[in-house]
Structure 1
Amino acid sequence: MAHAPPMRPDEIRQAFRSLLLGLFAGLLSSTVIVTALPRVVADLHGGQVAYTWVVAASMAAATLSLPLWGKLADLVSRKALIQLSLGLFALGSALCGLSGGVEQLIVGRVVQGLGAGGVTALTQVIMAALILPRERARYNGRIALVMMVGTVGGPLLGGALAETPWPGWRGCFHLGVVFAVAAALTLQRTLRLPAVERSRPGSRPDLAGAALLTGAAGTFLVTLTLAGHAVPWASWPTAGAACAVIVLAVLFVRTEARAADPLVPLRLLRDRTVALAAVAGFAVGPALFASPALLGQYFQIARGHSPTVSGLLTLPMIAGMLLASTVTGRLISAHGRWKRHVVAGGVLLLLGSALLGGVRAGTPLPVVCAYLFIGGAGVGMTSQNLLLIAQNAVPATELGATTSLVVLSRSLGGVLGVAVLGSLLTARVNALSPATGLGGGLPDPRTLSPSAMESVGAVYGHALGDVFTAAVPFALLLLASVLLLRETPLRTARARKVRRAGAVRPRTGYGPGRHRRR
């Protein structure tokens, strides 16, 4: 079989920009709808349950599909897979934009989430195939920038679109179609990858493992979503769901241990570096995914700001993430050492979480912004670098499975953080002010009198401070995990092999091979 000709540097840069465009579309799908969602559900005559599931459907589908996408990336053409995932995302976005009812919207969000999961996993896998670990650290800053722009820009853009006569909230989904199609067309023209090396020719995807993992994780996520709202935590349905999760998880482990080509190779977890990176990724998930939702409620309900101003006030956190990720990425590329940076990131995230636990409705905004910058810097120094550390510890044939494992752990941590911290917020609000009568809903600051707004803001400010305090154990788990990691210098020895396969040639200004004989 003939190898594809090596990609030129300009083609690599263009392909990487297309990957970033697809990744941005996937991230935007989960954030752009947040501020527009009340208008969406009202127009489609939905209720609180529909509101919850429009958010949960996409997130759960993306999270649960990550291992399967990663495993497929080790078996078949990665270029075909990224095109398929972008197509699914575009299809789901179109279904959402054309929705005539909440049922169709939820189905569209599931399809959209499946595509977004593929784009997320395959972007990392393709990047690993093109760029050596030593060089890859510099590119993590650009990925982090895309993640940050999607996180902070989504709510601002969604709120603005929802208030326009045309296209209205449907424009939030139409944008996803445009971005996905543009990324797919550019990748079709520029992306050329080496053939996938299979460890076992003729191997097939582990569909039984995928079904069991989907059942276990899906039941777990549904339970977290509904417990404390639709059903009490201490109830027979909740207990039954917990038992079902345990049984499905045990069956999944047994199936993976016996499978010839498992979805999640358990041998990866025997590698200390991979296992600890997965645990640390799980621990950083709540800060990465749950924080924007909590901060939106803090600034809008506790402080009485508009959604647009609320998005602007999260910029210090985004700035901390961007600055820390960019600087540490360049330092790691230059020196090949990473542990001091991820440990410092764990310390900063722990400090930021603890400081945010003391915020209230009357805390001066500059103080809140300083705390957000500290916590954001901690996330920026750890999130992407954990993925790099795990990829550096495994052979090229298992990059897909390893990547999907760490990203899955991070996503599950984010989903868990959203569900648990959201439930805790509701419980704390009801405990601090039983007379609010929210019943799981959110107060609308536009309908409250100044005195009522002051009372509700005080309650939410106190409750959200308690919730941020409850996030401290996640930061402690992250710090403990990265402290236990053994530092291994990033590989450069694969440079010659990768160049023959058509990957990017490392710059002569980096790595120990700079002064070797040519």
Structure 2
Amino acid sequence: MTGDVQGTDAAVASPGPAPEGQVHGSVLVSIGALLLGMLLAALDQTIVSTALPTIVSDLGGLEHLSWVVTAYLLASTAATPLWGKLGDQYGRKKLFQTAIVIFLIGSALCGMAQNMPELIAFRALQGLGGGGLIVLSMAIVGDLVSPRERGKYQGLFGAVFGATSVLGPLLGGFFTEHLSWRWVFYINLPVGVVALAVIATALHIPRRSAQHVIDYLGTFLIAAVATCLILVASLGGSTWGWTSPQLIGVAVLAVVLAVAFAAVERRAAEPVLPLKLFHIRTFTLAAVISFVVGFAMFGAMTYLPTFLQVVQGISPTMSGVHMLPMVFGLLISSTASGQIVSRTGRWKVFPIAGTGVTTLGLLLLHQLDENSGTATMSAFFFVFGLGLGLVMQVLVLIVQNAVSYEDLGVATSGATFFRSIGASFGVAIFGTIFASRLGDKLTAALRGQQLPAGLDANALKSDPKVIAGLPASLRPSVLHAYASSITDVFLYAAPVAFVGFVLAWFLREDRLRGSVTAPDVTQTLASNPVERSSYDEVCRALSVLGTREGRREIYEKITARAGYDLLPAASWVLLRVKKYGRVEPGVLAERSPVPLNVVLAAARQVEERGLATREGVDLILTDRGREVAGRLAKAREESLAELLGDWWGPDRPTDLVQLVEELNAELCGSDAERPHDGEVKRPRGGFA
């Protein structure tokens, strides 16, 4: 899977963005439109959960509730690799516009759905477009900005996911309570239209095509296998008996399709999921643990709003507020764990602790009932989110560390792919357990009771709002039936999380490569397996490291590495003169964040050492100065190459060499870096 290789290579090969860290206004507008597209897809993963209880009351079909979420997850997961490669072949702008249109059509149809089967079908269509929005928006950034700037702008996409994880439940609850649940879907329309208009007018990227052999058959087969298994898990024992011909037939079909998938992937030129990755123990274990995390996270997020609204009697809007402790716990621990691992190189404690705390969180959630207080619920939600965050960031990171450069991109998306499949299973299986337990418990609670006319267990299952009209003597037992049915699913999920805890102990803590850094928040919160090339993954990591290091220390390090005793600012000045041929120190200070006195002291030193001479007011390099500046640039390139570890071997690929050279030119020649201790400011101009 090399979905973005062509786009990013093109960005390196062409002038593209403005020099010296500046970005043209049209590019900023385009990135804003891309962020709107990402917002649509990200918001739709979280906004629906708080509306689900109301949707069930309106449309009925409680037993199919989980498929409202599952259909979207499955469709977006299966479509993601196709969007990436089709964008390479036919142009990302047109494909991105197509994805928005598909998403908006799906959103409009979801808002107009009259029954649960219609809503599920339209959610699948919406997910088909959503997968394209996520992967193409990330890829287009590579077409618009240089490698050095890319990490910063991809960070904005991470911020969008972080914000939607908080805003989604709140907005979903607000629209449901004050307008209609249908506005959960209609709200996408104006945002999407604005994004379409801006992209049509402001987004200008060169049309380049890269020939790929798209693994259509492999993509179809793996989606079909997942769908069959989810059908068995969600319909077995309820709609279909465990020994029914339908269930056995679907199970056998899943096995046949799985065998066919394995055969196809062995022969595919560009397999959607290369089987050789499973020969790497770390990848296999991380894939299973990713499945567990997705299972627990999305399963819980789907049914916690039902617990809050139906059992606790909390409004849809406030149910979103009550879920914030889980989101904050996830964000805090995922950010902290990713940064700690990137800086210390030690990671094994986090998947162990994360799966252990997640198991504990599920057991705590099982303790909730209709009498639980807000403080108790918030504490339990926070613990659960904390556990998920501890393990989610690290799984992507350790997978990247375990594979060769050629498999870096596909392994990264593969880890997220299994989380997506786990999410689909979790939501479906949680839904089956909930519906089955609720029917039994409501029947038991109402047995022997004098019920109002037309009211029975099925009516209470179909419309939870009926509970409010029950006689006071009946209401407590019905609420308890709902509460225990929901919390039972957390008890059943705890052993699954515990399996992840056991497996985490078998992970081998290999030494972390210098170029492996904490992944984007998108890879933590997104369910979609965002497909980026190996080139893009290394580009992101080196950009993050370069930005983090972009201070006086850069010039101290490269000066020492080159074997010179120069002021850091003097090395900086030499590289500036090397880049532009001649510079005037006063103008250099004016157009950079470096104070005039620091520039003048540096200029004086390079003149005294015979590295530069004056020609009028300008500095030009002497022969000795050109030699020193060349060695300084080479020292920076070597320091970047060192971070790549064994990826920078004798057989290193051309695109990796190209990336290091491009980043080296940017890092060694950027006014945005400061070889002094003053405040960093954005440079006002360059020396074009």
Do they superpose with TM above 0.5?
A: yes
Q: Secondary structure at the match of 1:205?
A: coil
1:374 CA displacement = 1.2
Report the CA distance between 1:205 and its aligned residue: 0.7
2-structure distance, mates of 1:506, 1:326: 19
Asked if the contact 1:67/1:405 (under 8 Å) is kept, the reply is no
1:161 corresponds to which letter in structure 2? F
Q: Number of residues paired by the alignment?
A: 508
1:419 to 412, 418, 428: 428
Compute the displacement of 1:293 (Å): 1.9
The answer to whether structure 1 residue 346 and structure 2 residue 386 are counterparts is: no
| Residue 74 (structure 2) aligns with | 60
2:42 maps to which of 22, 27, 33: 27
CA contact (8 A) 1:277 1:390 kept: yes
Q: Is the 8 A contact 1:337 1:490 kept in 2?
A: no
2:313 aligned counterpart, secondary structure: coil
Q: 2:286, 2:550 → 1: CA distance?
A: 25
Alignment correspondent of 1:177: 189
Instruction: Between 290-299 and 114-123, report the one with greater CA deviation.
Output: 114-123
Tell me the residue number matched to 2:480.
458
Deviations 1:171-228 (A, max 9, x none): 32232234445556667757979989x7xxx441112222222322222233334334
* Contact 1:280-1:482 within 8 A present in 2 as well: yes
Q: SS in structure 2 opposite 1:471?
A: helix
Paired amino acid for 2:457:
L
Query: Of residues 269, 278, 290 in structure 2, which corresponds to 1:281?
Result: 290
- What does residue 464 of structure 2 align with? 443
Distance 2:140 2:16 in 1: 14
Inter-CA distance 482–19: structure 2 relative to 1 (3 Å threshold): farther
CA distance in 2, matches of 1:497, 1:329: 16
- After superposition, the Cα gap between the structure-2 partners of 1:105 and 1:481, relative to the gap in structure 1 and judged at 3 Å, is same
The alignment's C-alpha RMSD in Å is 4.2
Q: Which amino acid aligns with 1:109?
A: R
Shift in alpha-carbon separation, 1:4–1:341, aligned structure 2, 3 A: farther
Q: Is 1:5 aligned to residue 41 of structure 2?
A: no
Contact preservation (8 Å) 1:277, 1:386: yes
TM superposition shift of 1:302? 2.6
Summarize the Cα distance change of 1:377–1:508 in structure 2 as closer, same or farther, 3 Å threshold.
closer
- Structure scoring higher RCO (CA < 8 A, sep ≥ 6) equals 1
2: CA distance between counterparts of 1:6 and 1:328? 35
Checking the alignment, whether the CA contact within 8 Å between 2:328 and 2:385 is kept in structure 1 is yes
Q: Is the 8 A contact 2:50 2:320 kept in 1?
A: no
Residue 78 of structure 2 aligns with an amino acid whose one-letter code is L
1:256, distance to aligned residue in structure 2 (A) = 1.0
- Aligned match of 1:85: 99
Q: Structure 2: how far apart are the matches of 1:141 and 1:364?
A: 37
Q: Say if 1:64 and 1:508 are closer, same or farther in 2 by CA, change over 3 A.
A: closer
Cα drift, residue 99 of structure 1? 5.6
**AA at the equivalent of 1:474:** V
Instruction: Provide the C-alpha distance between the structure 2 equivalents of 1:472 and 1:42, rounded to a whole number of angstroms.
Output: 29
Residue 387 of structure 2 is aligned to residue 387 of structure 1: no
Mark the CA change 1:131 to 1:397 in structure 2 (over 3 Å): closer, same or farther.
farther
Which is further off, 52-61 or 409-418?
Answer: 52-61
2:400 and 2:96 map into 1 onto residues whose CA distance is 19
TM-score computed with the length of structure 2 as normaliser: 0.63
Q: How many angstroms apart in 2 are the aligned matches of 1:496 and 1:102?
A: 41
Q: Give the conservation status (yes or no) of the 8 Å contact 2:297–2:388.
A: yes
Query: Comparing 104-113 with 8-17, which one deviates more in the overlay?
Result: 8-17
Measured at CA, do residues 405 and 432 of structure 1 come closer, stay the same or move farther in structure 2, by a change above 3 Å?
A: same
Amino acid at match of 1:307: P
Q: 1:140·1:384 contact (CA, 8 Å) conserved in 2?
A: no
Corresponding residue for 1:472? 494
2:214 counterpart SS class: coil
Within-5 A mapping of 1:242-321: 242-321=251-330
Question: Which amino acid is 2:486 matched to?
Answer: L
How far off its partner does 1:312 sit? 1.6
| Counterpart code for 2:410 | A
Query: C-alpha distance in 1, partners of 2:138/2:52?
Result: 30
Query: What are the Cα deviations for residues 16-45 of structure 1, in whole angstroms up to 9, with x where unaligned?
Result: 7665543331132244344445766787x7
- TM-score, structure 1 length as denominator? 0.81
Q: Residue 448 and residue 123 in structure 1: after superposition, are their counterparts in 2 closer, same or farther (change >3 A)?
A: farther
Listed one character per residue, the Cα deviations across residues 291-335 of structure 1 (whole Å, up to 9, x for unaligned) are 122211222233222222222211111111121123233334444
CA gap 1:364/1:376 in 2 versus in 1, 3 angstroms: same
Tell me if the contact between 1:141 and 1:322 (Cα under 8 Å) persists in the aligned partners.
no
Structure 1 position 252, deviation (Å)? 0.9
Rounded Cα–Cα distance in structure 1 between residues aligned with 2:238 and 2:404: 45
Alpha-carbon separation, structure 2, partners of 1:150 and 1:497: 24
Report deviation, 1:418: 1.2
Q: Secondary structure at the match of 2:369?
A: coil
Within 2, Cα distance between the matches of 1:394 and 1:4? 30
Return the index of the structure with the highest Cα Rg: 2
Kept in 2, the 8 Å contact 1:282–1:410? The answer is yes
2:57 touches 2:463 (CA, 8 Å); kept in 1? no
Letter in 2 for 1:205: I
For 1:224, the aligned partner's letter is A
Residues of 2 paired with 1:441 and 1:123: CA distance?
A: 40
**How far did 1:132 drift?**
8.8
Q: Deviations over 1:325-347 (max 9, x none)?
A: 23233334444543333433223
* Residue 96 to residue 368, structure 1, CA distance change in 2 (3 Å): closer
Unaligned runs of 5+ in 2: 1-8, 447-455, 517-533, 562-631, 633-688
Whichever residue aligns with residue 4 of structure 1, its letter is: S
Alignment of 1:367 with 2:376, yes or no, is yes
The alpha-carbon distance between structure 1 residues 119 and 105, as it changes in their structure 2 partners (threshold 3 A), is same
* Mapped contact 2:75–2:128 kept (Cα < 8 A): yes
Q: Which runs of 5+ in 1 are unaligned?
A: none
Q: Distance in 2 between matches of 1:235 and 1:180?
A: 45
Higher alpha-carbon deviation: 48-57 or 275-284: 48-57
Structure 2 residue aligned with 1:112, among 122, 126, 136? 126
Cα displacement (A) at 1:125: 6.4
> Which deviates more, 259-268 or 169-178?
169-178
- Cα 1:496/1:468, change in 2 over 3 Å: closer
The separation in 2 between residues aligned to 1:482 and 1:127, in whole angstroms, is: 35
Contact 1:121 1:404 in 2 (8 A): no
Q: Deviations over 1:427-482 (max 9, x none)?
A: 33344442355345453243334433311222233333332121112222332343
In the alignment, is the contact (CA less than 8 A) between 2:67 and 2:428 conserved in 1?
no
